[in-house]
Every structure is written in structure tokens, then in C-alpha cells.
């Protein structure tokens, strides 16, 4: 196995892991990273810097509920004749590490259980006749590739540190990686380095209780969280812990600016829901939030120290809280990479930020749970059936003996024992709304369209369907809302949807198709596009990827849309097209689109919202 | 637990020895830090916390709406429970779990797993075939704190409703009923975190039981029916998914909870949390007086509740409010009336006025407004607006 110290690059991830090793109460680290960046190697190497015999449990993605939280051990129960409890994976990770590779692909019910265990520090087992509490206080280490979809926010919220997404390593690092893999590194060196690191962490753990943080510093961190629009109080707590752990790692007893910056980078920035006020662009959408107070103190321009983020810590004594705050703000601006909003948990709330459309929220998976049921109504879950039959064997045998039936060696299974496997992909339909928000959608028609979408959403809510929202305007389409059951969110997105610019219809179709494909991997089979547009695409697919692309000729645009539509139809995605074009302007683009998609066509100026709903639901 | 303690002891003695586990190491740190003769004490404290020491209710900063809703439900369980929805990490489950400490005591039949009152006990046991008449005098009572039962998302139906006691079946071949969570929650609170993610089939069970106040189990030749009246408390984040309308309707109150935007308050929250994590016992001690005070206040409110009265005029205004808001059915009025009574009692008032109604109307009605897709006004604002209208009329007359 490759040692922690031999891994090159991913410095921030390594720093996060070291902080976690120092303070397990930070609850975990999430590392989003592209395929082949070595994130899982790093994660596995993490156990090497932890104290010996710390449990390190890897969670398989296809874990079932009873394996996860524990249940009855069938074999032992049958042999012992007494109910024997089997501990779940979460309990096995107690006081250690639970590692999940591809965290974003983890089944949603497994995510819920992990969330629950993390907030309690224990697992409540209330199943199959068991009622027990098992300890389960673990650090969650998760890696995932953001192109597989996003991790549920509720889970991320409970994990202390989230390493900002980096797409690629640098070249220096790559060379070293190859050397390491080829075994050109001296193994003795490695061992020494590991030992040193271990000692460092050990020392930091001892230092941890001696580190103090001032009220001003706490205030500054909280203020930063506030100006980044971070939700809830957990981030505040994690951020302060991380700063303290960082100071302990440096063998200091006071928290310094660099500690705070690291903490902000690892804890707060990934949870930002908005850029600090100064960065706000007022062009297309007025910010909904009220401006955070004291964002721009007058002292700002006078203060040259504030401009150098590396300012030494000696200055700190003189610093007023305002000043710290100033520095923080600077730190954020310096650290914010261009793609910050790509990983930002709640970035999709901002209409202008969702350029990375593939994000998906895991809702329902293909999880299996056993439930009592008719044998014919589904697949029989053998093990749970045996578990429920096991305790009765003796008494039933005697009963059947009384009736004169001899079945000494056969298991006697009654109707009540039968458990049926429940696959949870009866998840209804995924409606992907694609709303044309280009300049050609005059305002009043936009209102109508919104009304139609809103009533569909309402219906989706009642039927427990999922909805995703894609808008297209300007150069390309964007996912405003990945598949979700939250009508609230969809409605909110819709309310603030701006209009204007070109009509990148092809981009929307493409993005919708991608979203559909991702949803399929999560067990959603019924997918329907709801296109609200005049059908007049005038921006090519090329423009979505290359802002400098030349304007595509009209024929090419038409071909593009036609080809895409047909492929989508062939892929089995249903569609309805709601035409918003005024009659006298129409050249029949929308009906053609509907035809190519194999979907139904509606003319909005005539259609009532209810009719559209009926149409969508009757497919 | 004792195992980790001994580890902590050992490592406290020999500081350089490689530590067994993460937690043991931490405990050892604390122990080393304490330098007192009984250096193992901190380790004990933290292991105690694990086994359920909850953050004190009175130490929770802000989130008044949620706290009030819970308290009103203690004063009068007929308020019908509360649904707490809001942002992540804002202390929803912390608050609900803190509730246990401020709950009053109730009488139940001694050792009864269903927490039954004498009447319930006689009704259920006395009606059995061949059962003798039970003399109420002969039944022993005991005092227990109002139970708070946690229903985890992964619970299976048999544990929720109760099933055959497998242990007994295995050892003695007897078919005995093993009560489930619904039995334990009788006359208490049933709490479901992430209630919006609860499996549909469990929601069905809950709806059934919540409507009838009885749990009926027919399985493996066992047929049992026992009282299961509880205050349903649910919490969740609306962004994770919606609640089924039928379940939403079951909740008497709907408290909303948002991220606190006040820096000082947030720093205060962090500090309190740190203090609690560092030394839970000392922290509990610090808040003990406030906890007792609140508990007394709730008990007092419970005591005067039967004497609280309401003018017909106020009732008319409540009805008007619900009508203007277009609320279906009568559950809205009923909930407001009960909640206003409890609220008045909590404030020590014996007459319900529109002021009490005003404080709680939002809680009672927020989730009952018909969802209008084109409505941009927040439910709370809408209620307030209609309330102001009704109040304006009331004052004008």
C-alpha cells in the first residue's frame, strides 16, 4: 500500500486529514475529485497516520440496511437457539474511520442511517424484534467524483471538512506520483517520514486541550460564515475546531490567522451559498439576501496590512475584531478559486452559478428491504424469511407431529414468515422541466409558463414524483435544480428565473438527456421532459463549451436539434412540448420539436395550466 | 464501556504508551490534563454523555417558535404534536432530545410496558375472556417521567407495532407479545427525525394509530389491541423532500426554524456547545436552576389549564380567521383553540384573549393553507395579514 507521506499533490486534502487525525470530533473529511486523482489511495493511506488499531472500515456501496445498522445473525441464531445480534458496519467503525468511496453513489436510505448515527454517536436498532443501542461514533471519510452526482447536503453538513474540488494535479506532482508507483522511493525514507508524521499528530493531540481561541477570533469566524451564507450552526462549531486543531498541529497554544484561514478554506467556503457581498455582481439578478452588516468598514483602504494575506501573526495583538474580519474577507477572496461555486454545496440555489449541470441529488435508490408479504407478490427475501421462521421450528415440529405429519428434516415455514424483497424504485416519474428563459419569451408568457410549471410541481408533490429544473438562455442551458422531491426549492428557483438573451435549445436538450441518464443509474426509469419554449433555438451546442465559437448557421442548428431530439426519443424519454409562440409569429418550430421528440404538443396561449398537468400525467 | 475506562486509566499512568483507540486517547488527554488525583473522572463523564446525556433545553439559544410549540404540547397533549421543519444544523433534534429533562411525571400502572392509566388498564385487561373483574384499589401505581420515544428511520414495522417475543418463543415455546415503540410511546412523545424521509409503509401505520389512538396487531396467532396515544413530533429539512399531505395534516403545530443571523448569538451557541462537550456535568449544573424553573412553570400551567376559559367572541374571531384563509375542515379552529388555552396557561393567564391567539396562529395554521402554486406570499405573512384584518374588525366593533 502506498503510504500517506508518499502521496504527492492534494495538499489541502492531506491537511484536512491531518486535522481530522488530531481532532476526530471534526467528524470527517470529504474529498471530491476527478477519477484517477488518487483520492481513494489517499483515503486508504489515512489509516497509516492514525494511532494503531484504530478501526478503519470500508463501506460497500451496495450495503443493505441490516448490514449497516445491525440485525439478527441467522447462522448463530439457528445454532444457538437464542437470538444472536450481529453488529452493523456503523458500529464496527466506532471510534475509528468509516470510509466510503463514491460517496455520491451511496443509496439514499444508507445516507439517512449514516446521518442519524452521526448526529447521535450511536445506532438505534429497532428491527426484527431487536431493540438495542450500539455505539457508533466514527469519522466519515468520503471520496467521490462530482461527475457522478452530488452528495446529499444533509450528510455533508455533518462532516467537518470538505476539500475544495480540484480537477487536476500539477505536472510536478505527476512525475513524483509515477516515481512512487514505480517503487523508486526508498522504503526506509517512507517509514521514517510516516513515523515522524505519526509523532507530530500524537504531539498535536496532546497539545489540543491547551490551545485557546479568543472571543474575537470566534466572532470573526462566525461573521465569515454569516457573510458566506452558511446554513445552520454546525459549520461554526467545526470551523472553530478546525482552527484549534491546526494550531495544535503547529504546537502553538494560540490560534493564529493561518489556522483560521485553513479552517475557512476547509469548513466554510465549501458550504458557501453566496459570494461575500463585495463580489456580488449586480447584473442579472438582484441578491435576495439583505446585505450583511459591516461588510465594508471605512478603514479598509487605509489598511495596507489587510492586503497581504500572509501578514505575520505579530500584528494580531493590535488587531481589532474588525481588522480580523477584514483579513478574513481578504482570505476568502484570495482563496476563492474560479470554480468555487462548482463544489459549493448550495450553489445551485444561485441561478447564475449552475454551469456544472450534471449535479444530481440522490433520492431513492435500488435499495432492498424485506417486508412481510405474499409469496407471489414479489421476490422472496430468503434470509429474512428464514430468520422469522427460525424460532418456531421446534414448536411447529411438535404441532405437526401431533397432527401426524412427519417432517423431521424439513424447515417448516408458514405464511407469516414470508418476507418479500422491496425494491425501492417505484419512485414515480422524474419530470425534467426545461424552461426557455430567452429574450423571446415575453414577460407575460413567462408568467403563464411559470403557472403551468407550478401546478405540475404541485401535482408531482402529491404523487411523490421528482422534478428537475433546467433553464436555457444566453449561451447555454443550466440545471437550476437537480432531481429533487422538494417542490419548495423548485418553486423558489422558478420565482427568480431571469429572462433575456439567446435560445440555446440544443444545450438544454443535451443537458436534460444527461440528467435523465444519471437518474437512470439511480433507479428512476420513467422520465419525462416538459419543454416550455417557442422551439426557436438560435444558439448552437458548440457555444455552451466554447464561448468564442462562431455563430452556427441556421441549418446546422436545426439539424443539431433534430438529431438530439430523435436520440432522446430513441432512448425512451417521454416528452411534452408547450409552445409559447404567438400564433402569427410561428413557423411551426415547436410542433416539429414535439414530433421529433415523439411527444405531445400544447399551445400555451390556449392551454390552461390544468390541461397541461393532465397531459403530463396521462402519459 | 468499562474496557475503555481501563484503557484510559492505563494510558493516563503511562503517557507514552501507544493508545488503544481514538476515544481512549482523547479521554487520556483529558485525564492528563486534569492532573487531579482522580484523573479518570473526565473519561467517566464523556462515557456518560454517550449514554444519553442531552444538552439542556434551557441552554438552547433562540428558536423560540420550536421551543414554545414543544412546551405547549407538554401542557396539553391534545394540541396534537408539532412538526419542526427548517435549515440543517439549527438544533432541531438537539431541542427535541432536550425535552425529556423538563417533562413532568405521570402515574402509570406499576411496571406496565404500555404506560397505562388505571382506567386504560382495567379496560384492556378486564375485558379479556375469563378475566376476573379487577379492583381499581388493588392496582399499584408508579410515577415515571413522560416517555420520549425515538423512532429511527430504519425501524421495521414489527418493532414499531410490536410482535411476538422471539426470545420467549425460543426458550419456552410460548407465544407472547413483545410491545413495540408505539406501546412505549403511549401517553408520551414519539419523535421522528427526518420525518419526511420515513418509509411510506411506516407512515401508513402512524396515520392509522394516530387517528384511532389504538394499535392493533394481528399476527402469528396473536391478536392484541392496546392504547397508543402519543404526541407526534417530527423534524426535517424541507429540501430533502416533502411530507405526505395526510401526515402533514396530523401535526397540530408547524414550527419553522431558520439559521440565526446574529453573530453574537451564534458565537454564544458555539461557546455553549464547547462548554458542554468539555464538561457535561458542570454544564448541566449551571443550567439546573433554569431547568427546574421551567419544569415548575410547565407543571403549574398544566394545573391551571382546566380553569382557563375563552370568550365566545374570541372563538368567533378564530373561526373568521380560518374562514378568511380558506382552511378546509375544522381542525384549524380546534387546534388554535386548544393551543391558545395552553399558551394562556403557560403565561399564567386564566382567560384566553386574541393576544394569545395571535402568538400561536401561525404555528397552528401555516401547514393548513391550501397550496397555491402562484402564491408568492409566505404562509406566515398571509396568516398575519388576515389576523390583522380580523383584529382590526374586532377593535372597530
**Residue A240 reports pLDDT greater than 90:** yes
Contact A83 B166 (CB under 8 A): yes
3-state secondary structure of A575: strand
Rounded distance, CA A297 to CA A299, Å? Answer: 5
pLDDT number for residue A473: 83
Question: Nearest C-alpha of chain A: how many angstroms from B122?
Answer: 27
Domain with B329, as residue range(s), is 308-396
Chain B residues in contact with A215 by the CB 8 A cut-off are 267
B26, A235: Cβ pair inside 8 Å?
no
Task: Kindly report the pTM of this predicted structure.
Answer: 0.68
Give the pLDDT of residue B110.
85
Shortest Cα–Cα distance, A100 to chain B (Å) = 19
B166, B181, B239 member nearest A486 (Cβ) = B239
Q: Which three cell numbers stand for residue B20?
A: 488503544
Last residue of a domain, one of B257, B278, B298: B257
Which of B22, B159, B249, B279 best probes binding to A when mutated, by most A CB atoms within 10 angstroms? B22
Chosen domain end from B257, B284, B319? B257
Digit-coded pLDDT (tens) for A548-573:
767 777 888 888 888 888 888 888 88
**CA atoms lying within 13 Å on the CB side of residue A365:** 20
In the numeric block, which cell numbers belong to residue B355?
A: 393576544
Query: Cβ of A135 and B50 within 8 Å?
Result: yes
Cβ distance A237 to B273 less than 8 Å, yes or no, reads: yes
Stretch 307-366 of chain B: residues touching chain A, C-beta under 8 Å? none
Does the residue B341 lie in any domain? yes
Please tell me the distance from the alpha carbon of residue A151 to that of residue A360, in angstroms, as a whole number.
Answer: 8
* B182 and B90 within one domain: yes
For A535, which DSSP code? S
User: Are B329 and B244 found together in one domain?
Assistant: no
B144: cell is: 415515571
Sign of CA dihedral A439, A443, A445, A449: positive
CATH number of the domain that residue B190 is part of: 3.40.50.300
Yes or no, beta carbons of A223 and B263 under 8 Å apart: yes
* Min distance A573 CA to chain B CA atoms (Å): 24
Pairing of strands A122-127, B162-164: unpaired
With CA atoms as reference, report the closest residue to A347 among A266, A286, A272: A272
Question: What is the distance between the alpha carbons of residues B24 and B11, in angstroms, rounded to a whole number?
Answer: 8
pLDDT at site A145: 83
Bridging pattern class, strands A28-32 and A161-162: parallel
B178: contact with A, CB 8 A cutoff: yes
Paired residues of B144 in beta bridges: B106
Q: Which sequence spans correspond to the domains of chain A?
A: 4-198, 220-276+293-345, 370-423, 429-617
How far is it, in rounded angstroms, from Cα B272 to Cα B278?
10
User: Distance between CA A235 and CA A422 in Å, rounded?
Assistant: 37
In a 3-state reduction of DSSP, which class is residue A312? Answer: coil
**Helix A234-249 and helix B263-278, axial crossing angle in degrees, nearest 10:** 60
What is the average pLDDT value for chain A, to the nearest integer?
74
Q: Are residues B62 and B162 in the same domain?
A: yes
- Give the N- to C-terminal CA distance of chain A in Å, as an integer: 54
Q: How far is CA A217 from CA A23, A236, A321, A336, A460, in A?
A: 19, 12, 7, 21, 47
**B249 shares a domain with B314:** no
pLDDT (tens digit per residue) in A253-267:
999 999 999 999 899
Give yes or no for a contact between A216 and A321, defined as CB atoms under 8 angstroms apart: yes
Q: What share of chain A is helix, strand, coil (3-state, %, to 5)?
A: 50, 15, 35
Interface of B with A in 257-286 (CB under 8 A): 259-261, 263-264, 266-267, 269-271, 273-274, 277
B166 with A391: Cβ contact below 8 A: yes
The reply to whether B3 falls in a domain is no
Instruction: Say whether residue B21 is in contact with chain A using an 8 A CB cutoff.
Output: yes
How many contacts (CB atoms, under 8 Å) link A and B? 204
For residue B347, give how far its alpha carbon lies from the nearest alpha carbon of chain A (Å).
Answer: 30
Residue A419 to residue B219: CA distance in whole angstroms: 14
Same fold, A4-198 and A429-617: yes
Answer yes or no: do B313 and B250 share one domain: no
Instruction: Indicate the fold that domain A4-198 takes in CATH.
Output: Rossmann fold (3.40.50)
Q: With 0-12 CB in 10 A as exposed, 13-18 as middle and 19+ as buried, what is A277? A: middle
Nearest CA in chain A to B274: A237
Interchain CB distance below 8 Å, B153 and A109: yes
Return d(Cα B182, Cα A17) in angstroms, integer.
Answer: 43
A572-588 confidence digits (pLDDT tens):
888 888 877 766 666 77
Phi then psi for residue B165, to 5 deg, are -70, 105
Q: What is the CATH T-level fold of the domain A429-617, as seen in this structure?
A: Rossmann fold (3.40.50)
Contacts of A18 (CB under 8 A, 6+ apart): A49, A197, A201, A249
Residue B372 lies in a domain: yes
Query: What pLDDT is stored for residue A537 in this prediction?
Result: 81
Within a domain: B25 = no
Distance from the Cα of A234 to chain B's closest Cα (Å) equals 5
Q: Determine the distance from the C-alpha atom of residue B266 to the mean position of all C-alpha atoms in its chain, rounded to a whole number.
A: 24
Task: Check which CATH number belongs to the domain holding B317 and give it.
Answer: 1.10.8.80
Q: Which of A52, A154, A235 sits opposite B237 (nearest CB)?
A: A154
**Amino acid A183: pLDDT:** 63
Alpha-carbon distance B12 to B29, whole Å? 8
* CB-nearest partner of A65 from B89, B154, B163: B154
H/E run at residue A12: helix A11-22
**For each successive 10 residues of chain B (397 residues), what is the average pLDDT?**
42 38 40 36 32 82 93 94 90 89 88 85 70 74 89 84 73 76 93 88 87 82 85 88 83 91 92 91 93 94 95 92 86 93 96 94 88 61 83 59
Query: What is the structure's pLDDT at A613?
Result: 65
Percent of chain A with pLDDT over 70: 68
The 10s digit of each residue's pLDDT in A305-320 is 333 433 333 333 334 4
Q: Nearest CA to B31 among B12, B10, B45?
A: B12
* B62 and B168 both lie in a single domain: yes
A101 backbone dihedrals φ, ψ, rounded to 5°: -85, 145
Beta strand ranges found along A276-428 (DSSP E): 368-372, 419-423
> Per residue in A117-164, pLDDT tens?
998 889 988 877 778 899 999 999 999 887 777 788 889 999 999 988
B331 is annotated as an active-site residue = yes
Q: Which of B257, B280, B298 is the last residue of a domain?
A: B257
Q: Which residue bears the cell 486529514?
A: A17
The string of pLDDT tens digits covering residues A210-220 is 999 999 999 99
Distance between CA B252 and CA B249 in Å, rounded?
A: 8
- In this predicted structure, what is the pLDDT of residue A267? 93
Tell me the average pLDDT across A1-11. Answer: 73
Contact call for residues B178 and B199 (beta carbons, < 8 A): no
Cα-Cα-Cα-Cα dihedral of B267, B273, B274, B280, to 10°? 150
As a whole number, mean pLDDT of residues A441-467 equals 67
Q: What is the ipTM of this complex?
A: 0.77
Check residue A166 and give its pLDDT: 65
Number of structural domains found in chain B: 2
A129 vs B158: CB contact, 8 Å cut-off? yes
**What is the C-alpha to C-alpha distance for residues A491 and A486, in angstroms, rounded to an integer?**
9
Position A227 confidence tier, pLDDT thresholds 50, 70, 90:
confident
> Is A274 within 8 Å of A231 (Cβ atoms)?
no
Q: How far apart are CA A326 and CA A299, in angstroms?
A: 9
Is B72 in the same domain as B171? yes
| A232/B87 Cβ within 8 A | yes
Q: Identify the band that residue A359 occupies on the pLDDT scale cut at 50, 70 and 90.
A: very low
The C-alpha of B166 sits at a distance from chain A's nearest C-alpha, in angstroms, of 6
Residue with cell string 454564544: B268
Mean pLDDT of A356-367: 30
Q: How does pLDDT run across B336-367, given as a tens digit for each residue?
A: 999 999 999 999 999 999 999 999 999 999 88
Helix/strand/coil (H/E/C) assignment for every residue in B345-364: HHHCCCEECHHHHHHHHHHH
Residue with cell 392504547: B227
* Alpha carbons within 13 A on the beta-carbon side of B153: 22
Location of C-alpha cell 429539512: B237
Who contacts A75 (Cβ-Cβ below 8 Å, separation ≥6)?
A: none
| CA pair distance A242, A246, nearest whole angstrom | 6
The 10 Å Cβ neighbour count of residue B323 is: 13
Which of B78, B219, B266, B331 is the catalytic position?
A: B331
d(CA A604, CA A615): 12
Asked whether residue B253 falls in the same domain as residue B320, the answer is no
- Asked if the model's pLDDT at residue A462 lies above 90, the reply is no
Amino acid at each position: 500500500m502506498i503510504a500517506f507521506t508518499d502521496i504527492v499533490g492534494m495538499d489541502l486534502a492531506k491537511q484536512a486529514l491531518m486535522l481530522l487525525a488530531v481532532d476526530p470530533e471534526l467528524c470527517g473529511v470529504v474529498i471530491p475529485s476527478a477519477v484517477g486523482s488518487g483520492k481513494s489511495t489517499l483515503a486508504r493511506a489515512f489509516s497509516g497516520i492514525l494511532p494503531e488499531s484504530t478501526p478503519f472500515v470500508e463501506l460497500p456501496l451496495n450495503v443493505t440496511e441490516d448490514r449497516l445498522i445491525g440485525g439478527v445473525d441467522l447462522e448463530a441464531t439457528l445454532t444457538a437457539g437464542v437470538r444472536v445480534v450481529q453488529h452493523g458496519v456503523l458500529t464496527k467503525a466506532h471510534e475509528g474511520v468509516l470510509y466510503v468511496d463514491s460517496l455520491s453513489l451511496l443509496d439514499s436510505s444508507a445516507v439517512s442511517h449514516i446521518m442519524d448515527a452521526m448526529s447521535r454517536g450511536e445506532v438505534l436498532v429497532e428491527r426484527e424484534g431487536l431493540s438495542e443501542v450500539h455505539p457508533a461514533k466514527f469519522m466519515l471519510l468520503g471520496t467521490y467524483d462530482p461527475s457522478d452526482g452530488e452528495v446529499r447536503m444533509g450528510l455533508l453538513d455533518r462532516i467537518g471538512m470538505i476539500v475544495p474540488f480540484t480537477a487536476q494535479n500539477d505536472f510536478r506532482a505527476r512525475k513524483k506520483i509515477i516515481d512512487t508507483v514505480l517503487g523508486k522511493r526508498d522504503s526506509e525514507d517512507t517509514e521514517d517520514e510516516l513515523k515522524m508524521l505519526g509523532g507530530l499528530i500524537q504531539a498535536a493531540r496532546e497539545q489540543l486541550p491547551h490551545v485557546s481561541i479568543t472571543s474575537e477570533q470566534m466572532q470573526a469566524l462566525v461573521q465569515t460564515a454569516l457573510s458566506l451564507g452558511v446554513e445552520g450552526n454546525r459549520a461554526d462549531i467545526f470551523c472553530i475546531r478546525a482552527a484549534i486543531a491546526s494550531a495544535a498541529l503547529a504546537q502553538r497554544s494560540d490560534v493564529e490567522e493561518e489556522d483560521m484561514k485553513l479552517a475557512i478554506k476547509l469548513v466554510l467556503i465549501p458550504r458557501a451559498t453566496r459570494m461575500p457581498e463585495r463580489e456580488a455582481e449586480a447584473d442579472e439578478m438582484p441578491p435576495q439576501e439583505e446585505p450583511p452588516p459591516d461588510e465594508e468598514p471605512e478603514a479598509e483602504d487605509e489598511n495596507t496590512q489587510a492586503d497581504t494575506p500572509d501578514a505575520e501573526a505579530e500584528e494580531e495583538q493590535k488587531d481589532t475584531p474588525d481588522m480580523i474580519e477584514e483579513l478574513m474577507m481578504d482570505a476568502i477572496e484570495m482563496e476563492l478559486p474560479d470554480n468555487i461555486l462548482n463544489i459549493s454545496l448550495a450553489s445551485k440555489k444561485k441561478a447564475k452559478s449552475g454551469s456544472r449541470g450534471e449535479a444530481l441529488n440522490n433520492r431513492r435508490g435500488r435499495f432492498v428491504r424485506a417486508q412481510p408479504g405474499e409469496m407471489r407478490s414479489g421476490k422472496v427475501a430468503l434470509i429474512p424469511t428464514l430468520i422469522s421462521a427460525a424460532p418456531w421450528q421446534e414448536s411447529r415440529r411438535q404441532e405437526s407431529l401431533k397432527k401426524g405429519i412427519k417432517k423431521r428434516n424439513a424447515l417448516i415455514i408458514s405464511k407469516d414468515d414470508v418476507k418479500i424483497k422491496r425494491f425501492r424504485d417505484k419512485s414515480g416519474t422524474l419530470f425534467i422541466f426545461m424552461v426557455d428563459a430567452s429574450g423571446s419569451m415575453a414577460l407575460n408568457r413567462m408568467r403563464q409558463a411559470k403557472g403551468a410549471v407550478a401546478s405540475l410541481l404541485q401535482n408531482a408533490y402529491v404523487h411523490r414524483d421528482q422534478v428537475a429544473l433546467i433553464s436555457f438562455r444566453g449561451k447555454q442551458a443550466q440545471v437550476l435544480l437537480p432531481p429533487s422531491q422538494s417542490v419548495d426549492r423548485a418553486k423558489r428557483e422558478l420565482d427568480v428565473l431571469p429572462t433575456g438573451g439567446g435560445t440555446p435549445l440544443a444545450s438544454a436538450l443535451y443537458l436534460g438527456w444527461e440528467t435523465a441518464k444519471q437518474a437512470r443509474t439511480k433507479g428512476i426509469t420513467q422520465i419525462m421532459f416538459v419543454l416550455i419554449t417557442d422551439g426557436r433555438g438560435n444558439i448552437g451546442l458548440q457555444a455552451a463549451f466554447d464561448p468564442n465559437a462562431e455563430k452556427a448557421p441556421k441549418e446546422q442548428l436545426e439539424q443539431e436539434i433534430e438529431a438530439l431530439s430523435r436520440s432522446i426519443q430513441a432512448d425512451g424519454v417521454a416528452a411534452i412540448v408547450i409552445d409559447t409562440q404567438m400564433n402569427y409569429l410561428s413557423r411551426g418550430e415547436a410542433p416539429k420539436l414535439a414530433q421529433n421528440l415523439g411527444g405531445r404538443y400544447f399551445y400555451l396561449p390556449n392551454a390552461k395550466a390544468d390541461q397541461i398537468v393532465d397531459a403530463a400525467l396521462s402519459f | 464501556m468499562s474496557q475503555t475506562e481501563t484503557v484510559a486509566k492505563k494510558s493516563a499512568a503511562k503517557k507514552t504508551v501507544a493508545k488503544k483507540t481514538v476515544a481512549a486517547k482523547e479521554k487520556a488527554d483529558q485525564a492528563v490534563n486534569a492532573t487531579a488525583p482522580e484523573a479518570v473522572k473526565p473519561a467517566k463523564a464523556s462515557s456518560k454523555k454517550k449514554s444519553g446525556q442531552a444538552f439542556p433545553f434551557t441552554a438552547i439559544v433562540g428558536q423560540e417558535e420550536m421551543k414554545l410549540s414543544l412546551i405547549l404540547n407538554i401542557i396539553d397533549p391534545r394540541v396534537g404534536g408539532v412538526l419542526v421543519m427548517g435549515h440543517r444544523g439549527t438544533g432541531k433534534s438537539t431541542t427535541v432530545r432536550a425535552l425529556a429533562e423538563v417533562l413532568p411525571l405521570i402515574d402509570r400502572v406499576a411496571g406496565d410496558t404500555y404506560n397505562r392509566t388505571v382506567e386504560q388498564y382495567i379496560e384492556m385487561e378486564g375485558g379479556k375472556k375469563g378475566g376476573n373483574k379487577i379492583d381499581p384499589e388493588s392496582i399499584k401505581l408508579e410515577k415515571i417521567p413522560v416517555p420520549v420515544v425515538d423512532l429511527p428511520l430504519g425501524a421495521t414495522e414489527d418493532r414499531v407495532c410490536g410482535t411476538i417475543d422471539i426470545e420467549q418463543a425460543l426458550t419456552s415455546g410460548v407465544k407472547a407479545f413483545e410491545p413495540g415503540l408505539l406501546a412505549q410511546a403511549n401517553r408520551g412523545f414519539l419523535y421522528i427525525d427526518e420525518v419526511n424521509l420515513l418509509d411510506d409503509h411506516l407512515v401508513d401505520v402512524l396515520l392509522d394509530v394516530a387517528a384511532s389512538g389504538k394499535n392493533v396487531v394481528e399476527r402469528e396467532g396473536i391478536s392484541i389491541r392496546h392504547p397508543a396515544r402519543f404526541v407526534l413530533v417530527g423534524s426535517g429539512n424541507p429540501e430533502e423532500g416533502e411530507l405526505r399531505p395526510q401526515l402533514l395534516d396530523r401535526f397540530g403545530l408547524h414550527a419553522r426554524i431558520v439559521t440565526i443571523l446574529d453573530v453574537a448569538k451564534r458565537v454564544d451557541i458555539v461557546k455553549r456547545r464547547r462548554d458542554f462537550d468539555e464538561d457535561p456535568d458542570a454544564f448541566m449544573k449551571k443550567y439546573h436552576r433554569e431547568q427546574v424553573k421551567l419544569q415548575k412553570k410547565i407543571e403549574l400551567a398544566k394545573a391551571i389549564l382546566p380553569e382557563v376559559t375563552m370568550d365566545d367572541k374570541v372563538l368567533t374571531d378564530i373561526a373568521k380567521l380560518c374562514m378568511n384563509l380558506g382552511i378546509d375542515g375544522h381542525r384549524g379552529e380546534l387546534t388554535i383553540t386548544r393551543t391558545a388555552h395552553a399558551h394562556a396557561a403557560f403565561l399564567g393567564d386564566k382567560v384566553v384573549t386574541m393576544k394569545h391567539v395571535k402568538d400561536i396562529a401561525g404555528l397552528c395554521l401555516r401547514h393548513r393553507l391550501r397550496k397555491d402554486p402562484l402564491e408568492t406570499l409566505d404562509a406566515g405573512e398571509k396568516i398575519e395579514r388576515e389576523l390583522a384584518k380580523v383584529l382590526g374588525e374586532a377593535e372597530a366593533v
